[in-house]
């Protein structure tokens, strides 16, 4: 190879690194813009009012006796807003929370990727690649979630469902770490205590999966006491015990029957056909416009296969060759198991497949499948062709994310301004009679954010909770509320 060709390839690689960095920055900027304009909504109003009136500890007792406590998620919620001074000024706390949440996700993915590489490869990929692909995976997962608004930006939903997944990724990353220190075991305990105390369906599913993995490593693997297996088995045992204790605390409260009854009452039909419900759900998911963005960002993992060639990464055991058919079969079987494991507990609670936000684990599995598929494509492509493909994908991703940034800034900024103006206006009304009902204009489209509008029924629970959270002594209703203006938004856009 001539010096000219080496220099040319080096220049191409530098250009591609810059483009990939711009893609990562574009996604993080989009997330930050949307997060900055997020506000309270729905159940957030109720929980905010309870903690403000009953205090940090008494609110836990209320949750414990009236519904599922989900204590680990509510521990974070109470800690965030216990010292709150102004309902509509808390968007800065919300913003910081979302930034820390994304940082934790990227760190968890980075740690997971690094530890997996240490397990299967003789050399670690460069820091830049491990970090950039962690961001790419987070970006793909963001657009893979069935409903971005509720999954990522509804605060209570985020704490119950999304943080559960993020913390479990972090916990598993510590579990598979080989040379564990005492603080690694402590981190495993903390992570899985949180998981067991948040979303019940995900906790049950993860308990089953970790138990099966433990059984396989201990009784079916030929070398369970090997240098690699022993620390992983210990980590799994600690994770299972921690999560089980937390889970038992979570489901043992007297409010559980009341919460299940409430869930059944919210469903307008009884015992629907689960297969039919799942079919309708899949159809609604497939037609979402954001799926194209998900595929585009997932295809960035083609470059991961190219990196393996550029850095000449080698497996620790050369006999363990990568089999696409075997891996594809395993991933598809895993997807089926995840779908059943996540949706069946929801079916039990709701007599239906449940809300999309509770099925983020399925989105995570889809993200894993597509990223690994494109990684395989990168392994099959020549380095020369991969460069061309990746430049096209990177430029397309930058253009699409730039479009999202501009569009979402305009939409979410207008929404946040209207939301804050409404709160200030209602608080400033002088001497309104308790019997009066004040009508306000409906909030505009909120883009990737969940909309915090109230309804046109002043006695609706959302309206009542909003009134209490804002400290009003009169009822409020919306003249042209958002839910009637955009009834099918989540099925076609975000």
At residue 288, the pLDDT reads 67
At residue 270, the pLDDT reads 44
What CA–CA distances, in Å, run from 418 to 20, 65, 493? 36, 37, 22
The two three-digit tokens of residue 467, written as one number: 């009134």
At residue 38, the pLDDT reads 92
At residue 239, the pLDDT reads 92
3-state secondary structure of 121: strand
Give Cα 267 to chain centroid, integer Å.
Answer: 25
CA neighbor of 42 nearest in space, from 482, 492, 491? 482
pTM: 0.87
At residue 263, the pLDDT reads 55
Structure-derived torsion over alpha carbons of residues 434, 439, 445, 446, reported in degrees to the nearest 10: -10
Rounded Cα gap, residues 241 and 321, in angstroms: 35
At residue 386, the pLDDT reads 85
Give 415-472 as a 3 state SS string. HHHHHHHHHHHHHHCCCCCCCCEEEECCCCCCCCCCCCCCCCCCCCHHHHHHHHHHCC
Query: What is the pLDDT tens value at each position of the chain, 494 positions in all?
Result: 444 344 456 777 888 899 999 999 999 999 999 999 998 887 788 888 888 788 777 887 777 777 666 788 888 888 888 766 666 667 888 899 999 999 999 999 999 999 988 888 777 888 999 999 999 999 999 999 888 888 899 888 888 889 999 999 999 999 998 888 899 899 999 999 999 888 777 888 888 888 888 887 777 665 655 566 788 888 999 999 999 998 888 877 776 666 656 554 444 444 455 555 555 555 555 566 788 899 999 999 999 888 887 776 666 665 455 556 666 676 777 777 776 666 666 555 555 556 677 778 888 888 998 898 898 888 888 888 888 899 999 999 999 999 999 999 999 999 999 998 988 888 888 766 767 788 888 899 899 999 888 888 888 888 888 888 888 888 898 887 655 554 444 433 44
């Amino acid at each position: 190879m001539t010096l000219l060709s080496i220099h040319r390839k080096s220049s191409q690689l530098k250009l591609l690194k810059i483009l990939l960095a711009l893609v990562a920055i574009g996604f993080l900027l989009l997330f930050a813009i949307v997060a900055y304009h997020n506000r309270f909504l729905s159940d957030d109003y109720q929980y905010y009012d309870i903690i403000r009136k009953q205090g940090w500890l008494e609110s836990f007792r209320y949750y414990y006796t009236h519904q599922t406590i989900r204590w680990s998620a509510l521990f974070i919620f109470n800690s965030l807003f216990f010292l709150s001074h102004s309902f509509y000024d808390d968007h800065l706390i919300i913003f910081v929370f979302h930034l820390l949440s994304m940082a934790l996700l990227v760190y968890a993915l980075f740690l997971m990727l690094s530890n997996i590489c240490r397990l299967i490869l003789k050399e670690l990929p460069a820091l830049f690649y491990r970090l950039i692909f962690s961001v790419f995976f987070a970006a793909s997962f963001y657009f893979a979630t069935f409903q971005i608004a509720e999954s990522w930006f509804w605060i209570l939903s985020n704490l119950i469902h999304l943080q559960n997944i993020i913390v479990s990724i972090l916990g598993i990353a510590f579990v598979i770490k080989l040379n564990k220190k005492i603080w690694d075991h402590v981190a495993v305990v903390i992570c899985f205590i949180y998981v067991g105390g948040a979303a019940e369906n995900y906790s049950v599913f993860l308990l089953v999966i970790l138990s099966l993995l433990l059984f396989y490593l201990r009784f079916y693997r030929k070398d369970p006491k090997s240098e690699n297996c022993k620390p992983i088995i210990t980590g799994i045992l600690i994770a299972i015990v921690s999560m089980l204790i937390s889970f038992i605390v979570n489901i043992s409260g007297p409010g559980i029957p009341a919460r299940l009854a409430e869930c059944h009452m919210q469903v307008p039909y009884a015992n629907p056909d689960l297969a039919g419900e799942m079919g309708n759900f899949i159809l609604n998911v497939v037609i979402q416009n954001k799926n194209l963005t998900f595929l585009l960002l997932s295809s960035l993992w083609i470059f991961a296969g190219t990196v393996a060639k550029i850095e000449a990464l080698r497996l620790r055991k050369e006999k363990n060759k990568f089999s696409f058919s075997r891996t594809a079969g395993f991933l598809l079987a895993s997807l089926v198991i995840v779908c059943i494991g996540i949706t069946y507990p929801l079916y039990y609670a709701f007599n239906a497949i449940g809300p999309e936000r509770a099925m983020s684990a399925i989105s995570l599995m889809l993200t894993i499948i597509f990223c690994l598929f494109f990684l395989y494509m990168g392994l099959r492509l020549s380095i020369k062709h991969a460069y061309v493909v990746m430049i096209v994908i990177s430029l397309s991703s930058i253009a699409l994310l730039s479009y999202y940034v501009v569009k979402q800034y305009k939409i979410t900024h207008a929404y946040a301004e209207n939301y804050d103006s409404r709160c200030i206006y209602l608080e400033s009304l002088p001497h309104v009679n308790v019997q009066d009902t004040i009508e306000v204009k409906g909030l505009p489209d909120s883009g990737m954010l969940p909309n915090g509008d109230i309804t046109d029924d002043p006695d609706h629970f959302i309206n009542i909770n909003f009134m209490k959270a804002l400290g009003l002594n009169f009822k409020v209703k919306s003249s042209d509320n958002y839910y009637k203006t955009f009834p099918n938004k989540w099925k076609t856009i975000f």
